[in-house]
């Protein structure tokens, strides 16, 4: 469906001098430096995948999406989406594409929702019966009915997002780009949107690329995660692999009958102890099963639980750049 090879996008930023003299200098001299927004990213996405595209602000996510949409022309590299080069065949390309940019609306601000949907039907040349069918389905899944006749400017954020999702999918796109689709929504609204995205992906086989800072979206929706930082690919694989590879290992919480003495266990490190309870960190590649029998050797164990590393923690650590150095070393 999507193939990206060694994608690069550079742009020039001109230095601005401050103050009145600086303004004059800006007119005469143009000191440029090159920013590598996307710097050699490659990946392939198969039809029907639901991929989380993650990275801190300024990592190059939006630039990649704009290139995949055909709005921007890359500096170098190859991109094929359904066999097409997006920026060369932009019109044909976007016909098979749906996009929701969470912070903006694709609907007309002053018109009732239904009027915008009707306009999109004409723009994408959706046959009348298919349009009605889709509208009925989206109404069932997103409960659009109560606000179809309301002007977009009067909608709540959650309603607007639902309307925007419906608008992006009216023409049955094979590919859906979602840029922060749950930003600013409450828990209930988020769940509804996630349920809809999952349904569209599973039932219609729509390929979805999801950009988000809400890791709840990723955990609930994405089996695969592509992560970029400073324009480079940092990780591409299953969410579970990300957790295993970059997590600081699982934590074993053990309740002993009596306070234990200092524990010395191969492959586990005591990170905390409170009375009878001990927190042990199992090395990222270590085995919990190997450690548990050792616990029972000297003492009575009342209870035992394993904590998986929190994905938020994992991602935070990657964003902060701690783990890249480890990987390199």
To another protein, the closest distance from the beta carbon of 174 in angstroms equals: 14
Considering the complex, state which of residue 183 and residue 292 has its C-beta at the smaller distance from another protein.
183
Residues 6+ apart with CB under 8 A from 1: 45, 46, 47, 49, 81, 82, 174, 175, 207
58 lies in the binding site for another protein (CB under 8 A): yes
Q: What DSSP line would sit under 175-195, residue for residue?
A: EEEEESTTTT--HHHHHHHHH
**147/163 Cα distance (integer angstroms):** 9
Q: Which long-range contacts (CB under 8 A, 24 or more apart) does 64-72 make?
A: 64/4, 64/7, 64/38, 64/228, 65/99, 65/177, 65/179, 65/209, 65/211, 67/7, 67/9, 67/38, 68/2, 68/4, 68/177, 68/209, 69/94, 69/97, 69/99, 69/177, 70/94, 72/9
Instruction: Provide the minimum distance between the beta carbon of 91 and another protein in the complex, in angstroms, as a whole number.
Output: 5
Interface size with another protein, residues (CB under 8 A): 39
Binding range to another protein, per CB under 8 A, among 9-17, 249-257, 285-293, 297-305:
9-17
The reply on whether position 97 binds another protein by CB under 8 A is: yes
Among the residue ranges 24-32, 84-92, 136-144, 262-270, the one whose residues contact another protein (CB under 8 A): 84-92
- Of residues 8, 25, 80, 90, which one binds another protein by CB under 8 A? 90
**3, 26, 89, 270: residue in contact with another protein (rule CB under 8 A):** 89
Judged by CB under 8 A, does residue 71 bind another protein? yes
Q: Looking at 2, 4, 7, 37, which residue binds another protein (CB under 8 A)?
A: 37
The residue (of 66 and 281) whose beta carbon lies closer to another protein is 66
110 part of the interface to another protein, by CB under 8 A? yes
Within the chain, where are the H helices?
Answer: 19-28, 61-69, 90-95, 113-123, 128-142, 157-169, 187-204, 215-221, 239-246, 288-298, 311-319, 322-328
Min CB(80)–another protein separation in Å: 14
Nearest 5°: CA angle at 214, between 145 and 102?
45
Alpha carbons within 13 angstroms on the beta-carbon side of residue 93 total: 20
285 lies in the site for another protein, by CB under 8 A: no
Q: Closest separation between CB of residue 210 and another protein, Å?
A: 16
Q: How far is the CB of 155 from another protein (least distance, A)?
A: 16
Which residues make beta-bridge pairs with 256? 301
Minimum gap (Å) between residue 283 Cβ and another protein: 39
Of residues 125-164, which lie at the interface with another protein (CB under 8 A)?
125, 151
Q: Per CB under 8 A, does 201 bind another protein?
A: no
Q: Is 108 in the site for another protein (CB under 8 A)?
A: yes
Residue 111 lies near another protein (rule: CB under 8 A): yes
DSSP state of 260: -
Residue that the structure tokens 């979805």 belong to? 208
Question: Under the rule (CB under 8 A), what is the footprint of another protein?
Answer: 9, 11, 13, 37, 58, 62-63, 66, 69-73, 86-92, 94-95, 97, 99, 101, 103-106, 108, 110-111, 115, 119, 122-125, 151
């Amino acid at each position: 469906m999507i193939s990206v090879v060694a994608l690069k996008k550079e742009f020039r930023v001109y230095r601005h001098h401050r103050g009145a003299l600086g303004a004059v200098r800006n007119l005469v001299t143009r000191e440029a430096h090159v920013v590598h927004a996307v710097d050699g990213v490659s990946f392939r996405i198969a039809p029907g995948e639901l991929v989380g595209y993650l990275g801190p602000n300024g990592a190059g996510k939006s630039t990649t999406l704009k290139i995949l949409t055909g709005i921007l022309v890359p500096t170098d590299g190859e991109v094929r989406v359904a066999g097409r080069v997006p920026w060369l065949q932009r019109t044909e390309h976007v016909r098979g594409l749906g996009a929701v940019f969470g912070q903006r609306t694709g609907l007309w601000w002053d018109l009732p929702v239904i009027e915008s949907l009707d306009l999109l039907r004409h723009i994408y040349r959706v046959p009348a019966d298919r349009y009605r069918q889709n509208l009925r389905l989206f109404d069932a899944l997103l409960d659009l009915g109560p606000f179809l006749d309301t002007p977009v400017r009067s909608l709540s954020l959650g309603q607007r997002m639902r309307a925007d999702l419906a608008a992006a999918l009216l023409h049955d796109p094979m590919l859906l780009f979602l840029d922060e689709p749950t930003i600013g929504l409450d828990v209930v609204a988020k769940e509804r949107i996630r349920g809809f995205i999952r349904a569209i992906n599973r039932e219609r086989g729509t390929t979805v690329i999801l950009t988000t800072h809400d890791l709840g979206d990723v955990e609930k929706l994405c089996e695969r995660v592509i992560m970029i930082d400073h324009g480079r690919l940092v990780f591409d694989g299953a969410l579970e692999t990300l957790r295993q590879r970059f997590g600081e290992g699982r934590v074993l919480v053990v309740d002993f009958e009596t306070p234990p003495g200092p524990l010395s266990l191969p492959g586990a490190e005591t990170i905390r102890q409170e009375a009878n309870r001990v927190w042990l960190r199992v090395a990222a590649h270590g085995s919990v099963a190997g450690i548990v029998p050792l616990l029972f050797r000297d003492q009575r164990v009342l209870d035992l639980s394993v904590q998986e590393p929190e994905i938020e923690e994992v991602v935070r650590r990657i964003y902060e750049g701690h783990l890249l150095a480890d990987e390199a070393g």
